[in-house]
Structure formats: C-alpha cells, structure tokens
Amino acid sequence: MNHLPPDSAKDSSPNKTTPIVDDFFLPDFCNVQMVLAVILIAELLSIILMLAPMDTKGTRWEELGVISLFVQWVALISTGVLCVTRPWLKKLNDTFAATTSYLILISTTTIVSEITYWTVRWLTVAETARIDWYSDFLLRNLGISAIVSAVALRYFYVQHQWAQNLEAKSQARIQALQSRIRPHFLFNSLNTIASLTRTQPAVAEEATQDLADLFRGTLAETSYEVRLIDEWELARRYLHIEELRMGDRLTVQWHVDDLPNDALIPQLTLQPLLENAIYHGLEHMLDGGTIHISGQLENELITINIVNPVPEYTKASHRKGKQMAQENIKQRLSAVYGNKGKLIAQQTGNRYQLTIQFPYTQVRK
C-alpha cells in the first residue's frame, strides 16, 4: 500500500518556468558581484595607465593613486547610471540599447573629466590647469573611454549570445532525453493494463484513467522544469498503476514532508528511477518489498533518497537498462544545474540506494 505525500494531489496544474538566461545583453549592474568586478577591472586599467608613460614627475605609487581615484569615479558612476537606466534600456532593441549605453558611458567620462579639471584648477594655481593641459586631459580620457566602452559592450553582447545558445542546447538535450524515457514508461504501463483487461476490467479502466491523467499533465508541460509537487503527483500515478499489478508485493513509504513543494526539478526525474526500483528490484523478488522515499532541504540544497531491495542476482540486460536510465537522469541534472546537480548510486548487499541532489530554486515571476 502506498503512503503518499500529504499534499501530492492538491495542485497538479502545469507550471511553466522562465528562461534561466536574461533576454537582455547588459548584465545587472545593481548586483554586488558585478559592482566588485567593475572595481577590480577599473583598478587593473589604472595600473596599465600608470605603467604606460616612460617618464613621470612623481613616484609610480603617487601616479597610481591619482589615476585610480579618477578611473574608479568614472567606473562607479557609470555603473550606477546603467543600474538605474537598465529597466528602460531593456525595452529597446539591442542596437538602440547598445548605442544609448555607449553614449551614457562617454557622457559620464566627459562630466567626470570636467569636474576633475575645474576642481584641480580651483585647488591649484592657474598655470597648472592651462588650456593645452585641459585639451590633452579631456581627449585622452574620451579616447580611452571610447575604446574600453566599445570593448566592454561587445563582450557583454557576445557573452549573452553564448549563454543563450548554451541554454538552448541544454533544453534541446533535456527534451531529447525525456523523449527517450517516455516511450519506455508508456510501453510498460500498457503491458500492465493489458494484463488486467480480461481478469479485472474495472481495475484496468482505473489504470487507464491514471495513465491518461499522467500523460495529460506531462504533455501539457512545455518547460523542462516542474514543481516538486507535480513530480510527486507524476510518481504517485505511476506507483498506483504498479500497485494494481503487483498488489501487496509493493509498498511505498514516503518521508518528504520537509521538502518545499514549490522547488523546481527537471521533469520526469523521479518516475524513471522508481520504475527501475520495481523493474530491476521488487519485480524479481517473490515477496516483493518496500520502496523508501525520503528527502531533506539543507543549505539550499535538496537531497532525495530512493532505497529499494534488489535480488542477489539480476540479469545483465536489466542492469544495462538501469544504468541507461540513470545516466540519462544524471545528464539532465548536470545540464540544468551544472556541478550542483548529482545522481549517486550505491548498492550494499541487497539494498540499492539512489541519491538525487540539486539546488533549491523556485519559479521566477
């Protein structure tokens, strides 16, 4: 008998997710990490400018301090302006957004240069701020700003295009892996229903309804990630079909109350693993057994354990099929979460355990 998670059937409506990669090429300059990166890059630029001249009136450290002060002011003010204007720039197409961003950076450099010049002129004697010095200072700053801004904007655009292409390939890969799993589940389910048609037609009808509801929810979902509560519902319907076939030989114990139902998980992650637990484990045992499903959330990392008994000897073809399904799931977790998505298999005697780990993420609104 199945002991189901308490809220598994409350809400199983499809839930689409938004793309992982932002649709705008400019990064979020309000992000603390981006601000730190700008400060670091600005300081590296200051060091380059300090090392460029062959002669200097003061020490290198004094010159680095002056250059750093100016460059950091330009960089941080530009970052602040782009942070504030990003929502508006996002409404423009890439060409106009890039052109406007470029003009913002050049204008910021001009304004800071003017403020610096008049401040120096006010604090020092007039001859240290003569017209030829002003012209050289302004043109030099504008030239460097024009080159650095163009390179930076080009880098942001190319990096964004690369990230979008990588996400598209990952989604296509995940959908291809899903398409390999779905027929495998469908054929096994139809065999179960066919075996019940003559002997227990009412039960076969119930199983058919479960299968129809299961695939209705699966095919209606167009994203590659679904809520954990929807994945529980998918697993519940599959296990109900298997329970009708195996009877008292199948028992499932759930210990997943601590897991957030709104967490996102790649679609069809749990069902193929539960199918393996039955097909490669309980089905070959005379008395069947119990599948233990447990989970926990710790440090924003979700861990799900699936433990089932296995016979001492399993046919090689069955082992091969199990490894293929597990490898598919492992690739999907890696494609979505990188190094944070894992599937670990471990067998001790007649006890087989699968551990799924992935970060806790929610639907972005």
Same domain for 112 and 194?
A: no
Residue 20 lies in a domain: no
Query: What is the distance between the alpha carbons of residues 127 and 275, in angstroms, rounded to a whole number?
Result: 85
Q: Which of 164, 184, 199 is the last residue before a domain boundary?
A: 164
Q: Pick left, alpha or beta for residue 84 (phi over 0 → left; psi -120 to 50 → alpha; otherwise beta).
A: alpha
Same domain for 198 and 152?
A: no
Same domain for 151 and 216?
A: no
Same domain for 275 and 150?
A: no
Same domain for 65 and 212?
A: no
Same domain for 193 and 341?
A: yes
Same domain for 334 and 300?
A: yes
Mean pLDDT (the chain, rounded) = 80
Position 17 scores a pLDDT of 44
Count CA within 13 A, CB hemisphere, residue 295: 25
Pairing of strands 250-255, 289-298: parallel
Buried b (16+ CB within 10 A) or exposed e, 298-310: eeeebbbbbbbbb
Write the pLDDT tens digit of every residue in 65-88: 778 888 999 999 999 999 999 999
Same domain for 320 and 208?
A: yes
Residue 13 lies in a domain: no
Same domain for 118 and 206?
A: no
Structural element, H or E, at residue 324: helix 316-337
Q: DSSP character for 338?
A: G
* pTM, 2 dp: 0.57
* Tokens (6 digits) for 41: 């890059």
What is the residue-wise DSSP string for 258-310? TS-TT-EEETTSHHHHHHHHHHTTGGGSTT-EEEEEEEEEETTEEEEEEEEE-
Query: What is the distance between the alpha carbons of residues 168 and 364, in angstroms, rounded to a whole number?
Result: 18
Residue 310 lies in a domain: yes
CATH number at residue 211: 3.30.565.10
Sole residue written with tokens 């490894």: 323
Q: DSSP character for 340?
A: G
Tally of structural domains, the chain? 2
Among 173-177, 199-203, 287-291, 328-332, the range with the most confident prediction by mean pLDDT is 287-291
- For residues 227 and 325, which has the higher predicted lDDT (pLDDT)? 227
CA distances from 55 to 50, 52, 59, 135 (A): 10, 9, 10, 20
* Tokens (6 digits) for 6: 């308490």
Residue 7 lies in a domain: no
Same domain for 176 and 139?
A: no
Q: Which of 115, 131, 164 is the last residue before a domain boundary?
A: 164
Write the pLDDT tens digit of every residue in 8-58: 444 444 344 444 556 788 888 888 888 898 889 888 888 888 776 655 555
Same domain for 105 and 231?
A: no
Residue 60 lies in a domain: yes
Q: Which of 101, 129, 164 is the last residue before a domain boundary?
A: 164
| Domain around 108 | 32-164
Residue 91 lies in a domain: yes
Same domain for 266 and 290?
A: yes
Residue 22 lies in a domain: no
